[in-house]
Amino acid sequence: MKNLALSIALGTAAVALAAPAQAEVQVTTSQPVVELSVTETVKGDPDLATIGAGVSSRAGTAVEAMRINAREMKSVIDRIKSLGVAEKDIQTTGVSLYPQYDYNRTTQQQEFKGYQASNRVSVVLRDIDKTGPVLDALVAAGATDLSGPDFSIDDDTAAKAQARAAAMKRAEAMARDYARMGGYSDIRVIQISENVMVNRPVPMLRMAVAEATADASTPIQPGQVGSSVTVNVTYEMMQ
């Protein structure tokens, strides 16, 4: 993926030069400057899958709803651990308790029906080939709500470095083109900053237990994910 933003300023400009430790140096130039924002993306095969699993439980009292939910959620977490998922890769993302009401059309009033307790965890799978079987196993263990998978790369340092180098190379080539078209013979960098983001596929699954089937393992296609770097570079055009 390639994106570009451009602006050219003529006349005197005071430009902030990025420096370590958040320092800021003002560079004054009387030459025209060209400001480029270039994005490059490097794609790779994911090696992590993150899924969400939760349990919702209902009961007549808040205490009973929480008690039932704790028991059912423990069963799900125990199943996750039995599949070889490390403790560090399981994180609680939310616990909730809400009163439940139904609307009575006859009395035209809300009628209290009890409480619903919910508990959700986020699970990181380091063997993405097991994503489908793990989802099926969680449903069998009592999970009533699933989300994901969200695929990513555990260490995308190399991919970001490639994207950064490609973005800088393209920015320099474009700046030289603008300088040449403007009658200038050289350029120099006077400011650089960057934005980094990871592009992930949209989560492929949002499933309630009632929709799950045990006929076959849930099919999962991880595809590829992209690591993007946007460099913002200001060049001075020189004679």
Could you tell me the pLDDT band of residue 29, with boundaries at 50, 70 and 90?
A: confident
At 197, is the secondary structure helix, strand, or coil?
A: strand
Could you tell me the pLDDT band of residue 199, with boundaries at 50, 70 and 90?
A: low
Q: Which residue has the higher pLDDT, 3 or 151?
A: 151
Task: Return d(Cα 13, Cα 34) in angstroms, integer.
Answer: 11
DSSP letter, residue 23:
-
Q: Crossing angle for the helix pair 131-141 and 62-82, nearest 10 degrees?
A: 150
Q: Which two tokens stand for residue 1?
A: 């993926």
Task: Return d(Cα 111, Cα 146) in angstroms, integer.
Answer: 29
Report the pLDDT averaged over residues 206-214. 47
Report the pLDDT averaged over residues 161-180. 96
The predicted structure's pLDDT at residue 28? 67
Closest CA to 96 of 111, 110, 82, 117: 117
Q: How far is CA 231 from CA 32, 103, 236, in A?
A: 20, 55, 16
- What backbone phi and psi angles, to 5 degrees, belong to 11? 95, -165
Out of 60-64, 87-91, 210-214, pick the least confident: 210-214
The predicted structure's pLDDT at residue 19? 39
Q: Which long-range contacts does 109-113 make (Cβ < 8 Å, 24+ apart)?
A: none
Task: Give me the count of residues in the chain.
Answer: 239
Could you tell me the pLDDT band of residue 11, with boundaries at 50, 70 and 90?
A: very low
Chain-wide mean pLDDT for the chain?
Answer: 86
pLDDT in tens, 129-143: 999 999 999 999 999
Report the pLDDT averaged over residues 65-85. 96
What is the residue extent of each domain of the chain?
Answer: 2-44+156-199+228-238, 48-152
Give the CATH H-level superfamily of domain 48-152: Protein of unknown function (DUF541), domain 2 (3.30.70.2970)
Report the pLDDT averaged over residues 181-192. 95
pLDDT at 22 over 50: no
The predicted structure's pLDDT at residue 215? 57
pLDDT at 12 over 80: no
Report the pLDDT averaged over residues 76-84. 95
The predicted structure's pLDDT at residue 23? 43
Q: Which two tokens stand for residue 25?
A: 């140096």
pLDDT over 70 percentage in the chain: 80
Q: Which residue has the higher pLDDT, 20 or 105?
A: 105
- CB neighbourhood size of 120 (10 A): 21
pLDDT in tens, 35-70: 999 999 999 999 999 999 999 999 999 999 999 999
